[in-house]
Amino acid sequence: MNMLEDRQSEIAAKIVPPTKLAHFVLRTSRFAEMVDWYKLVMHATAAYENPGLSFLSYDEEHHRIAIVAIPELHDQDNSDVGLHHVAFTYDSLHDLLENYQRLKDLGIVPAWAINHGPTTSLYYRDPDGNHLEFQVENFETVEESTKFFFTEDFNLNPIGVEFDPDILRKRMLAGEDETELKRRPASGPVGLDAVKI
């Protein structure tokens, strides 16, 4: 190692990563609609709320999502750079698909349903066009998921295989094994242009 590499290694050894992702904040001119949507979709409650600010949580954290009212913002243009989506993991395929059905019954359907390989995922758009991924891990361990990244199937198609959530839910309710339901079907080559959201 040279002196620069030694110094970089020394600095890297001192880096302390965060322990968790705490929350994200959304600016909106559709404040009431956005707050209502996140309460409904995330099954969230307000830890604090006033006419221009809402702190929402669905678990033990004091807030996971903050929504701030700012008048007269422009709508998003998907041709701009920026955050693409935020992902949330469910404990089981059953939970993911039952939540899918609950939201569908309320008129909220995913924009995209895809089995990436490591995850089975449903992508939703909020009223401002922000994307949320609701997912379930397809493997028992992080090591197994990571190993999938180095398969020929993933190399040919790093995006995944689309699926119909209604059909997958029917198969689940019929008693099909969850491991089999989460197994990604083989497919041919697919590029990044396959991303639909």
Tell me, what CATH number does 154's domain have?
Answer: 3.30.720.110
| Number of domains comprising the chain | 2
Q: Can you tell me whether residue 94 is helix, strand or coil?
A: helix
**118 and 46 in one domain?**
no
CB 22 within 8 A of CB 61: yes
d(CA 186, CA 89): 24
**66 and 144 in one domain?**
no
Give the domain extent around 56: 20-71
Structure tokens at 5: 């590499």
pLDDT of residue 6 exceeding 70:
yes
CB 44 within 8 A of CB 63: no
pLDDT of residue 147 exceeding 80:
yes
Tell me, what CATH number does 66's domain have?
Answer: 3.10.180.10
pLDDT at 69: 96
CB 156 within 8 A of CB 189: yes
Residue 188 belongs to some domain of the structure:
no
**179 and 133 in one domain?**
yes
Residue 36 belongs to some domain of the structure:
yes
pLDDT of residue 10 exceeding 90:
no
Residue 191 belongs to some domain of the structure:
no
Q: What average pLDDT score do residues 115-121 get?
A: 96
pLDDT of residue 192 exceeding 70:
no
**Residue 114 burial (CB < 10 Å; 0-12/13-18/19+)?**
buried
Residue 143 belongs to some domain of the structure:
yes
For the packed helices 165-173 and 93-105, what is the interaxial angle rounded to 10 degrees? 120
Q: What average pLDDT score do residues 43-49 get?
A: 96
pLDDT of residue 189 exceeding 70:
no
- Quick one: pLDDT band at residue 109, thresholds 50, 70, 90? very high
Amino acid at 147: K
Mean pLDDT of the chain: 91
d(CA 119, CA 79): 26
CA atoms within 13 A on the CB side of 51: 1
pLDDT at 112: 95
| % pLDDT > 70, the chain | 94
**102 and 50 in one domain?**
no
Residue 5 belongs to some domain of the structure:
no
Residue 189 belongs to some domain of the structure:
no
